[in-house]
Structure 1
Amino acid sequence: MEIYDRSVAEEIDAWPLDLRSRLLHIVDRIEAHGLDRVGMPLVRHLRGKLWEMRPSGKRLEGRALYVAVEGRRIVILVAFIKKRQTTPGRMIELAEARMKELSR
């Protein structure tokens, strides 16, 4: 697993410990079993090549939008604490813009 840049790492570092632990659990499952063997409620396809990891803590839910590149290489493009029922469109757009930068 890779993190797109420092801002994404700082966002994840600001999450409560239980939420970060759940995110690492999801990453470990993906790395151990492969992307195609891990599904809901841990991960969900958004659109195109964009997916989201869905860690849930005691009081908060996080989202880490990611793309798989070159086999099992995973890059987390955006991370945020969920405040609405749906994933905000601006977060999806930001993740897609970052995904395009990766392919350059």
Structure 2
Amino acid sequence: MYEIHFYRDKNGKEPVKEYIAKLAAKKDKDSRIKLNKIMDYVKTLSEYGTRAGEPYIKHIDGDIWELRPLRDRILFAAWDGNGFVLLHFFMKRTQKTPQKEIERAKRNLADYQGRKHHENK
């Protein structure tokens, strides 16, 4: 089993966790379907890691991977040898993952790594 961590910015915001909570608070059928699919994919990541492969997971660039539930995309990276950190989410609207979304995930990862490094000193 792999540990799943949520990226938290310096202001305490956790974008992926907050998105999941927002879906959980909604009562419509589409939100429930999305939430269940996201949770299934996160569970798959925690059980199989990146070995789960497509259609669940796809390598994007460098350290960045994506979970692919429906049209949602959750960008993540390996963390601390036995886990993953969920960095950023967006709704897929194009065939290719937009570079700006990848760059945001990379910035979030660099921020997370920097702050975790200082916490462990």
TM superposition score normalised by structure 1 = 0.83
Q: Aligned partner of 1:8: which letter?
A: V
- Structure 2 residue runs of 5 or longer lacking an equivalent are 9-13, 24-30, 115-121
| Deviation per residue, 1:73-104 (Å, 9 max, x gap) | 11111011111111111110000011111221
Q: Aligned partner of 2:45: which letter?
A: I
Question: Match for 1:10 among 8, 15, 18?
Answer: 18
Question: Which residue number in structure 2 is paired with residue 69 of structure 1?
Answer: 79
Q: Aligned partner of 2:15: which letter?
A: S
Mapped pair 1:38 → 2:41:
no
CA contact (8 A) 1:12 1:79 kept: no
Which of the two has higher C-alpha Rg?
Answer: 2
Mapped pair 1:99 → 2:102:
no
Q: What is the SS of the residue equivalent to 2:66?
A: strand
Q: Aligned-residue CA RMSD in angstroms?
A: 1.6
- Structure 1 residue runs of 5 or longer lacking an equivalent are none
Question: Which residue number in structure 2 is paired with residue 21 of structure 1?
Answer: 36
In 1, Cα distance between equivalents of 2:15 and 2:55: 26
Deviation at 1:11, TM superposition (A): 2.7
Question: Which residue number in structure 2 is paired with residue 49 of structure 1?
Answer: 63
Percent pairwise identity? 28
